[in-house]
């Protein structure tokens, strides 16, 4: 009997007391949505968990109006000290209900309970605890004395770390004095709704946080609504669309988008730790991580050894029931994501890379994908360029540090990177050259509320975490941009062709005008040719 055979140790679902249906959380209460409700399922067995309301554009407008009222009447008038106390309360309530949240997260998302229990939920509490302390210290946030909140923040989050991404968004927004409308991902709304109950227990004033569930259209409606700040975490494609949507407005934007991180292993690396770090880098959370180390760059002299040891290690990973405490690899979050991973893996084979998958039995129900390594990958292969967002590692090799740097930077993304070496001077020199926002040296996938996180290039802009993450929700007291905006407005008023700093209610109508302008311009270009 191998050590891989073990008695299942599932975490009990009895800790959950879920409702059969969940409404939208608007102005402190659960209300019905006007869109068509949808079911949220467990990706591990496709069983229904609960029915979730869907917010249409009117519901979103209601939520934004509630947030606006709460901002103007309550939250912007409250002292930083009291705002901080609410955040401390929330942090404590999250800790008190930690196990319940972890079980709900693993159930709805498919991630192993040991990750939701030991990583996601503790970090959620830490995030609120960290930003709670900032609320009455904003003068030290780096924007000068008396920085001001932006107003209402519209926040759209992904399904890979549902509750953690909620915390990344809500905690700094509230600490800085903003109110919030948040849209969780369609496939993972559950913990956000449990969080709404926590807000009720914390007696957070009504409307300060509103949660609207739904699909992509709900998110698009939120971005288009009368909000002052848009924060989005998700795919680069959607991020690009949001950047276009907010063009010409005064909305401040933070985008945390895709990545294709290089994890660089030099031949002097501490190899045991490196193997664990590579595994953690790409197989943590089934590879559903925007900063995942999906491109392994191994120095040529140790390539074969590293690949052999990786295969050995992956053969010992336990894939299965996310609620089982022994599980290392959980379920793929959705059928759509599974299809994407399969498609790109097939492309990998078709383009000539060599595929190896860990020999594990996949459950019959649910969405599953075995940990997979591609060797012989070339920089032009799609699996070396596109984000797979699954448990798929592409292995490339290099000879010199310069080559490693060039290959690592050969991507439109720039979110994260890893460096494994025992030579400190080389680590720092390589770290200097990598165009990525987060660099882990001799570790990977570490997160902390005190540490800024965010990308270069097409991985987005703005930072979350730390002092920098707070600044994303603040403006200087006498904002340069606000002054300039007024100036532009004043001077552009007579010129019909320039749309000045749009105040929110003007947002809906300029779209056709914009389109017609663009059309006329491309016509001119055509004529010029």
What radius of gyration do the chain's Cα atoms show? Answer: 24
Q: Which of 105, 115, 256, 458 is catalytic?
A: 256
Q: Which residue from 409, 431, 411 is spatially nearest to 421, judged by alpha carbons?
A: 431
155 binds other proteins (CB under 8 A): no
Among 68, 148, 288, 463, binds other proteins (CB under 8 A): 463
Q: DSSP letter string over 375-430?
A: ES--TTSHHHHS---SSEEEEEEESSHHHHHHHHH-SS--SEEEEE-S-HHHHHHH
Binding positions for other proteins, 257-316, rule CB under 8 A: 257
Smaller CB distance to other proteins: residue 80 or 122? 122
Q: Which stretch binds other proteins (CB under 8 A): 49-57, 169-177, 373-381, 482-490?
A: 482-490
Mark residues 417-436: x for contact with other proteins by CB under 8 A, - for none.
-------x--xx--x---xx
461 binds other proteins (CB under 8 A): yes
Smaller CB distance to other proteins: residue 453 or 473? 453
Q: How far is CA 446 from CA 280, 326, 424, 478, in A?
A: 10, 22, 19, 36
* DSSP H helical ranges for 45-176: 57-70, 80-96, 98-109, 113-115, 121-134, 162-175
Q: Which stretch binds other proteins (CB under 8 A): 73-81, 293-301, 357-365, 516-524?
A: 516-524
529 binds other proteins (CB under 8 A): no
Encoding tokens for residue 418?
A: 């890893």
Residue 132 burial class via C-beta count within 10 angstroms: exposed 0-12, middle 13-18, buried 19 and up: buried
Encoding tokens for residue 220?
A: 């698009």
CB of 240 to other proteins, least distance (A): 6
407 binds other proteins (CB under 8 A): no
Q: How far apart are CA 471 and CA 214, in angstroms?
A: 29
276 is catalytic: no
Encoding tokens for residue 25?
A: 């959380």
Mark residues 107-146: x for contact with other proteins by CB under 8 A, - for none.
-------------------x---------------x----
Residues 6+ apart with CB under 8 A from 138: 80, 146, 147, 175, 176, 177, 470, 474
237 binds other proteins (CB under 8 A): no
* Site residues (vs other proteins, CB under 8 A): 126, 142, 236, 239-240, 243-244, 247-248, 255, 257, 412, 414, 424, 427-428, 431, 435-443, 446, 448, 450-454, 456-458, 460-461, 463, 466-468, 476, 480-481, 483-485, 487-488, 491-492, 495, 497-499, 501, 514, 517-518, 521
Q: Which residues are catalytic?
A: 256, 290
């Amino acid at each position: 009997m191998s050590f891989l055979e073990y008695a299942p140790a599932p975490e009990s679902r009895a800790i959950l007391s879920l409702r059969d249906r969940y409404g939208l959380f608007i102005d402190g209460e659960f209300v019905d949505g006007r869109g068509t409700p949808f079911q949220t399922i467990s990706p591990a067995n496709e069983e229904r968990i609960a029915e979730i309301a869907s917010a249409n554009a009117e519901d979103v407008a209601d939520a934004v109006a509630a947030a606006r009222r709460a901002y103007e009447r309550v939250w912007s008038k409250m002292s930083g000290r009291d705002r901080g106390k609410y955040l401390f309360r929330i942090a404590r309530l999250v800790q008190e209900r930690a196990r319940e949240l972890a079980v709900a997260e693993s159930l709805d998302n498919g991630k192993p309970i040991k990750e939701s229990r030991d990583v996601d939920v503790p970090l959620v509490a830490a995030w609120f605890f960290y930003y709670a302390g900032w609320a009455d210290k904003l003068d030290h946030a780096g924007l000068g004395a008396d920085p001001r909140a932006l107003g209402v923040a519209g926040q759209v989050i992904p399904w890979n770390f549902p509750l953690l991404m909620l915390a990344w968004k809500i905690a700094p927004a509230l600490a800085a004095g903003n109110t919030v409308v948040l849209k969780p991902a369609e496939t993972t709304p559950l913990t956000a709704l449990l969080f709404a109950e926590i807000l009720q227990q914390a007696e957070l004033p009504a409307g300060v946080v509103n949660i609207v569930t739904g699909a992509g259209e709900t998110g698009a409606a939120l971005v288009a609504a009368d909000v002052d700040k848009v924060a989005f975490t998700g795919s680069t494609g959607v991020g690009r669309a949001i950047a276009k949507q907010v063009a010409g407005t005064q909305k401040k934007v933070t985008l945390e988008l895709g990545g294709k991180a290089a994890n660089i292993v030099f031949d002097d690396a501490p190899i045991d730790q490196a193997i664990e770090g590579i595994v953690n880098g790409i197989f943590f959370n089934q590879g559903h991580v925007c900063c995942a180390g999906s491109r392994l760059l191994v120095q040529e002299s140790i390539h074969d050894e590293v690949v052999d040891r990786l295969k050995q290690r992956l053969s010992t990973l336990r894939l299965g029931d996310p609620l089982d405490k022994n599980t290392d690899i959980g379920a793929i979050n959705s059928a759509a994501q599974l299809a994407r991973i399969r498609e790109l893996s097939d492309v990998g084979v078709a383009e000539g890379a060599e595929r190896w998958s860990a020999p594990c039995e996949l459950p019959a129900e649910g969405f599953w994908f075995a940990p997979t390594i591609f060797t012989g990958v070339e920089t032009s292969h799609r699996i070396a360029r596109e984000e797979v967002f699954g448990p798929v590692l592409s292995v490339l090799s290099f000879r010199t540090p310069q080559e490693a740097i060039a290959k690592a930077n050969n991507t439109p993304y720039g979110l994260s990177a890893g460096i494994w070496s025992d030579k400190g001077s080389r680590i720092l020199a390589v770290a200097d050259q990598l165009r990525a926002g987060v660099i882990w040296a001799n570790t990977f996938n570490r997160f902390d509320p005190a540490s800024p996180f965010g990308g270069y290039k097409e991985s987005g802009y703005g930072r979350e975490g730390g002092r920098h993450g707070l600044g994303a929700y603040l403006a200087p007291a006498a904002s340069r941009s606000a002054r300039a905006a007024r100036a532009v407005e004043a001077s552009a008023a007579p010129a019909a062709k320039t749309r000045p700093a749009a105040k929110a209610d003007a947002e809906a109508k300029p779209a056709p005008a914009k389109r017609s302008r663009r059309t006329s311009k491309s016509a001119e270009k055509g004529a010029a040719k």
